[in-house]
Chains A and B, each alone.
Chain A
Amino acid sequence: KQEVTQIPAALSVPEGENLVLNCSFTDSAIYNLQWFRQDPGKGLTSLLLIQSSQREQTSGRLNASLDKSSGRSTLYIAASQPGDSATYLCAVVPFTGGGNKLTFGTGTQLKVEL
């Protein structure tokens, strides 16, 4: 059974700091990995998707890497801003079985302070 863990559970940083969020998964047979952000009481916003054959994806100040063999992904946020404050979730889709079933991590609650 796939298990996805995110460390740390919560993080508070001053504005402008570069930071790294970690995601680990137990079964490396994944189709892709997706990073989301969730604002309080809201739905999920897709940030980046990495296919199993890729090593990293970049979008603006965000960079996500994937090391399938070690079961790890990191989300790097450069020059953090107060607007980045949210909960960040990673999720994987299994390689077998077809479909789009996402198994989510426990999330990292990020607070960027002025």
Chain B
Amino acid sequence: KAGVTQTPRYLIKTRGQQVTLSCSPISGHRSVSWYQQTPGQGLQFLFEYFSETQRNKGNFPGRFSGRQFSNSRSEMNVSTLELGDSALYLCASSSDSPKNIQYFGAGTRLSVL
């Protein structure tokens, strides 16, 4: 069974640009969550999608948005990039069964110059 796939692995953008990151969950998983990891703040929850609906949202500005498609693949978008958005963005998928083990992708490393 293929794991969680995130593309691209690396991105370099400049301030003010926008970026879209993609996440393909494990086959059969309907829950996809996004996290931002920085040295200063650690791992912080961005949002979770389940069956194309946003189920949970973290405490991030509206510049961060996401969506989920009918095949459970998810994208997150960051508009008007700031230097502080430089981070490792991680995606996790879960079957949403009672056990709820979450499986993470390798992440997308975003650098904002």
Contacts and interface: CB of A to CB of B under 8 A. Distances in A.
Interface of A: 31-32, 34, 36, 41-46, 49, 51, 89, 91, 93, 97-104, 106-107
A43 B90 contact: yes
Nearest to A104: B43
B42 A101 contact: no
A107 B105 CA distance: 18
Contacts of B98: 51
Contact of A44 (B48, B94, B104): B104
A87 to B, nearest CB: 10
A10 B8 CA distance: 31
B100 A45 contact: no
A46 to B, nearest CB: 6
A43 B105 contact: yes
Interface in B69-113: 88, 90, 92, 94, 96, 98-107, 109
A102 B77 CA distance: 21
B95 to A, nearest CB: 10
Contacts of B4: 43
Nearest to B55: A99
Most buried by A among B6, B31, B107: B107
Contact of A100 (B58, B102, B106): B102
A99 B42 contact: no
Given A99-B55, A101-B33, 13 more contacts: A31-B100, A32-B100, A41-B88, A43-B90, A43-B107, A44-B92, A46-B101, A99-B56, A100-B96, A101-B45, A102-B43, A103-B45, A104-B42
A97 B92 CA distance: 18
A34 B99 CA distance: 11
Interface in B35-83: 35, 42-45, 48, 50, 55-56, 58
Contacts of B101: 34, 46, 49
Given A97-B56, A100-B92, A101-B33, A106 B42 contact: yes
21 contacts: A31-B100, A34-B101, A36-B104, A41-B88, A43-B104, A43-B105, A44-B104, A46-B103, A51-B98, A51-B99, A89-B43, A93-B100, A98-B55, A99-B31, A100-B56, A100-B96, A102-B92, A103-B45, A104-B35, A104-B44, A107-B42
